[in-house]
């Protein structure tokens, strides 16, 4: 299927949605995106797996990266797309094919941008990090992601969400001694001992750090608990898996040290971690984006791929037309006026639009 990058942004979104692209199956959509971008003479296009990168090379003093993932979660009887009033329904409409459509429109329309532009359309964001196309580029071809500022077109409901939280998961282990349950006093019940871990979590009061002018809301929660040997055995081990969501003023080392202090006396093992990203709104390109787009700004509560740009030294924000609370739902949809508004704001920031050749 061919994509018409000069069609209305709502129609382009529907066309992209109607090309299924569940994680690992992005090739048809990546092919269509590559074909459409190679037809634009002002862009140099590179294909890496099912990730497509297009760049201008105009010698501007700054470079902005616009990025969006092509994949979706598995279908749930929500294709093909359909329009009901001012809403477009379908898998990926909000997360994040409407944002991809806006970026593709910009790629076609902005032939003389105020800043050099890099467009990145990547694979496998919705699955394990090892398959993520943006992560692969960051590790193997970081020069393709180089820039002064990046906008990840993740769903934000038309608001600018600065940076992102970091996340860390740890196993907190309570230990005891096994015994026959008929002679429980001869052992020590580790599941009972885990109550002290839960007491800490119940008493936790979330902090709300302000980072670069944006307020984040931290969180500390038990997400799994495991323990037990048999129906007649006092268990000697119980593990509570805890997820810590922390503001981007903390490093991974800071987060780990905090968790070890919080659960002092228990064995703590880090099982997964990802750094957060500061908002980066003090950079001139970011400040211009906020000022010229006129969009409201808030902190990003959650982790996104903006953190990958931060690791490369590129400040980044999240901005897209989709409503994040609708992502991955059967009735996923996007408000059509929000897509048009996102396109308008981005054009106002980057350049006046050019018509079709």
pLDDT in tens, 196-237: 999 999 999 999 999 989 999 999 999 999 999 999 999 999
Looking at 240, 274, 308, the residue that finishes a domain is 274
**What is the predicted pLDDT for the residue at 355?**
45
CATH of the domain at 260: 3.30.70.360
Q: Which residue has the tokens 């996340």?
A: 167
Q: Which residues of the chain have pLDDT under 70?
A: 352-357
In a domain, 342, yes or no: yes
What are the catalytic residues?
A: 71, 125
In a domain, 129, yes or no: yes
What strands, in cross-sheet order, belong to the sheet with 219-227?
A: 219-227, 237-246, 166-175, 267-274
Looking at 256, 274, 292, the residue that finishes a domain is 274
In a domain, 68, yes or no: yes
Query: What is the tens place of the pLDDT at every residue in 261-276?
Result: 999 999 999 999 989 9
**What is the predicted pLDDT for the residue at 357?**
43
- Cα 111 to Cα 99: distance, rounded to the nearest angstrom: 19
Q: Residue 253 sits in which domain range?
A: 166-274
Segments in the chain forming alpha helices (H): 9-17, 27-38, 98-109, 133-140, 190-193, 195-203, 252-262, 284-293, 306-311, 336-350
In a domain, 153, yes or no: yes
Please indicate, yes or no, whether residues 266 and 184 belong to a single structural domain of this protein.
yes
Give Cα 277 distance to the centre of its chain.
Answer: 11
Domain total of the chain: 2
Looking at 214, 241, 274, the residue that finishes a domain is 274
Please tell me whether residue 158 adopts helix, strand or coil conformation.
coil
**What is the predicted pLDDT for the residue at 354?**
45
Which residues 6+ apart lie within 8 Å of 273 measured at CB? Answer: 166, 167, 168, 169, 252, 255, 256
Please indicate, yes or no, whether residues 33 and 138 belong to a single structural domain of this protein.
yes
Please indicate, yes or no, whether residues 247 and 189 belong to a single structural domain of this protein.
yes
- Cα 264 to Cα 105: distance, rounded to the nearest angstrom: 53
**What is the predicted pLDDT for the residue at 280?**
78
């Amino acid at each position: 299927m061919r994509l018409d990058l000069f069609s209305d942004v709502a129609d382009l979104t529907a066309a992209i949605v109607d090309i299924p692209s569940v994680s690992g199956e992005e090739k048809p959509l990546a092919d269509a995106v590559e074909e459409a971008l190679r037809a634009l003479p002002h862009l140099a296009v590179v294909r890496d797996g099912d990730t497509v990168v297009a760049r201008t090379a105009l010698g501007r003093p700054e470079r902005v990266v616009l990025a969006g993932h092509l994949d979706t979660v598995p279908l749930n009887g929500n294709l093909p797309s359909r329009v009901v009033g001012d809403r477009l329904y379908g898998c990926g409409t909000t997360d994040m094919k409407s944002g991809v459509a806006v970026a593709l429109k910009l790629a076609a329309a902005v032939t003389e941008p105020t800043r050099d532009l890099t467009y990145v359309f990547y694979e496998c964001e919705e699955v394990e990090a090892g398959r993520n196309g943006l992560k692969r580029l960051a590790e193997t071809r970081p020069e393709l992601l180089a820039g002064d500022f990046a906008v990840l077109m993740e769903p934000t409901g038309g608001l600018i969400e600065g940076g992102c939280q970091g996340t860390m998961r740890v196993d907190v282990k309570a230990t005891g001694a096994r015994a026959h349950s008929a002679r429980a006093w001869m052992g020590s019940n580790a599941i009972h001992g885990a109550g002290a871990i839960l007491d800490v979590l119940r008493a936790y009061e979330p902090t709300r750090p302000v980072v670069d002018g944006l307020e984040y809301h931290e969180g500390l929660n038990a997400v799994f608990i495991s323990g037990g040997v048999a129906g007649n055995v006092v268990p000697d081990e119980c593990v509570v898996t805890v997820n810590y969501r922390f503001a981007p003023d903390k490093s991974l080392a800071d987060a780990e040290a905090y968790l070890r202090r919080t659960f002092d006396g228990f064995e703590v093992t880090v099982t997964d971690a990802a750094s957060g990203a500061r908002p980066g709104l003090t950079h001139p390109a970011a400040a211009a984006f906020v000022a010229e787009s006129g969009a409201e700004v808030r902190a990003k509560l959650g982790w996104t791929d903006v953190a990958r740009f931060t690791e490369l030294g590129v400040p980044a924000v999240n901005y897209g037309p989709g409503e994040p609370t609708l992502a991955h739902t059967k009735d996923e949809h996007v408000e059509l006026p929000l897509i048009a508004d996102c396109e308008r704001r981005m054009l106002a920031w980057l350049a006046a639009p050019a018509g079709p050749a």
